[in-house]
Structure 1
Amino acid sequence: MADGSLTSPGGIATGDRPEARPVRFRGGGFNPTSPRWVGAAVFVVLIAFLEWGTRAGVISNLTMPRPSDVFATLVDLARSGMLWTHLVPSLTRLAVGSALGALAGIFVGVMIGLFSVARAGLVPLVAALFPIPKIALLPLFVIWFGIDEASKYALIAFGTFTPTVVATYGAVDTVDRTLIRMGQSFGLKWHTIVLRIVLPGAMPGILSGLRVSLAIAIILLVAAEMLGAEYGIGAYILQAGSLYDLERLFAGVAILSLLGVLVSAAIGRLEARLLRWRG
């Protein structure tokens, strides 16, 4: 060609190259994120649908109260002070029982994961205890510990203990053995390997197990309060159900749902703080 540019055999000029386009980085790993407003939007849409359905007659008011009436009941409950009268005992029972069960479960789970003798002796015992319906043991705990707070603490602790044990020793088993061998090759002491390698590596599984354990603890809290408790969310729901007061009953259920959301959010914040090393 007259201007000196090269041409390919097909007659296409190769001297004028197209501009290079940037390639999106694809090595960021699997780190799913979602907008925070999506979860709130789901609740808003669901509540709006129930409000419309109960007002339009699509949903019978005999089976589902209006969300606006439930909200009004919650407001009245808060203004009268009865909300805190029922909520404080429930939170105390949940905090004490789940803390005892989770701490004991993490300790036993780590022992099973680290020591062969503990694994041989305790895994069959945990496997035998795990499928037992914990609610069915409530009368037995009342006989052992009395009808007061001790039996409620014991039931919640026992219900939290077994799933925490299973999640913890499973998480310890999944820690990369190459990292442990590397620590041993550098001459690290046993307790240093456990604190710096095993526990951080097992922490994601432990926290995931805590999510399940605390959800079970809330279920057992309600069951325990329905037997021999004057105050508590479970006692409040039982009283509303016996009177067929749907607004109060669903107000109690809404409190439990909100409690579950707050517990899940707290575990999420704990994960973000403890697992920052994952990037």
Structure 2
Amino acid sequence: MSAPAAPSAPHVGAGASTRAERTIEAARVLRRQENRRRAFYLALSIATPIVLVLLWELCSRTEILDSRFFPPPSEIAATAVGMAGDGELWTHTWPTLMRLLIGGGLGAICGVAVGLLMGTFRPLNAAFGPLFAALYPLPKIAIFPILLMIFGPTELPKMIAVFITTFFVMQISTVAGVRAIDSKLLEAGAAYGARGLDRFRFVVLPGSLPFIFSGLRTATGTAVVVVTAVEFTGASTTGLGYLIWNSWQLFMPEKMYVGLVVIGLIGAVLTWLLGGFEKLVLPWRR
């Protein structure tokens, strides 16, 4: 009696092919669900502020809110268009933006550099860590009068105030990022021969980048607050902070709200750009 025939190879291959097709189809379903979820969250993030603005408009028009203090958003928008047309808006927006980009940018670069050095070299951190920890809680706006006495009512004190703000935030975030690197990653780098500059490039810097970007977002928001505060003072006659303060003094609420909206947009756009840059630099975190 002949032995039973063994299963043919084509049947095995067909089964594997079917499993692979099911896996691919399941991945496609998950991808479609994730895309729908993202689209829903995007629509929700856009619809929420629109609904709130419409409610504000309705409440202001029906006198539920006092229109003297809360003018309708349509009037604020018309004021913004008029200020943009005659150049007043750009006169105040450009100086604020330059103070943020120059002072904040240099502060972030120096803060990251010092933080990496202090996180890598323990004696340096032991020498300067307590000093920086004591200086960080000091309100940066409190030292602005000292800067005015030294440098006078020029652009330099405003940029230095923003520089100091971003420097300390980035220094602390970077040191924390270096210290948070998993020791197993350092050991793996040493096992593969990473020494000196290679250890810094391939282990220390990539491992601390998530903390650096988190610090950048925090520093951006803090820098916007500080630059607005220093522009409130009599040492400045330009900037969105000056626009807000001067409009309050002259009781021009529409212009005051224009300044508030623009300074908020600047902070939001800078934060969004940092988020996009983070995704580009850290693709493995997606």
Please state which band the TM-score falls in when normalised by the shorter chain: 0.7 to 0.9
Q: Secondary structure at the match of 1:187?
A: coil
| Number of residue pairs aligned between Structure 1 and Structure 2 | 258
Q: CA deviation at 1:60?
A: 1.4
CA deviations on 1:164-208 (whole Å, 9 max, x unpaired) are 111111111111221111111122222111111111111111001
| Match for residue 240 of structure 2 among 233, 244, 266 | 233
User: Could you state the TM-score of these two structures normalised by the residue count of structure 1?
Assistant: 0.86
The residue type paired with residue 203 of structure 1 is L
Q: Which runs of 5+ in 2 are unaligned?
A: 1-18
Letter in 2 for 1:229: S
Question: How far does the alpha carbon of each residue in 1:120-172 deviate from its partner, in whole angstroms, 9 at most, with x for none?
Answer: 11211111011111111110111122210110111000111111111111111
Query: Paired residue for 1:98, among 74, 99, 104?
Result: 104
Deviations 1:221-263, CA, capped at 9 Å, x for gaps: 1112222112211111111011111111011000011111101
**Secondary structure in 2 aligned to 1:132?**
coil
| TM alignment of 1:147-166, pairs within 5 A | 147-166=153-172
Q: Which residue of 1 aligns with 2:84?
A: 78
Identify which of 239, 243, 249 aligns with 2:250: 243
Q: TM-score, normalised by structure 2?
A: 0.84
Out of 114, 125, 129, the residue aligned to residue 123 of structure 1 is: 129
Residues 1:254 and 2:255 aligned together: no
Partner of 1:14: none
1:22-61 per-position Cα deviation (integer Å, ceiling 9, x unaligned): 6867x99xx9974333322121111111111111221111
Q: Secondary structure at the match of 1:42?
A: helix
- What value does the CA root-mean-square deviation take over the aligned residues? 2.3
Q: Provide the identity percentage.
A: 31
* Structure with the largest fraction of helix: 2
Q: Given the alignment of the two structures, is residue 45 of structure 1 paired with residue 51 of structure 2, yes or no?
A: yes
Residue 172 (structure 1) aligned with residue 168 (structure 2) = no
Whole-angstrom distance in 2 between the partners of 1:189 and 1:166: 25
Alignment partners' CA distance in 1, 2:51 and 2:150: 47
Q: Where does the alignment leave 5 or more consecutive residues of structure 1 unmatched? A: 1-19
Comparing 149-158 with 51-60, which one deviates more in the overlay?
Answer: 51-60
Name the amino acid aligned to 2:183.
R
Q: Do residues 69 (structure 1) and 85 (structure 2) align?
A: no
Runs (4+) of structure 1 moved beyond 3 Å? 22-25, 31-35
Task: Please give the alpha-carbon distance, in whole angstroms, between the structure 2 residues aligned to 1:172 and 1:41.
Answer: 40
Aligned to 1:12: none
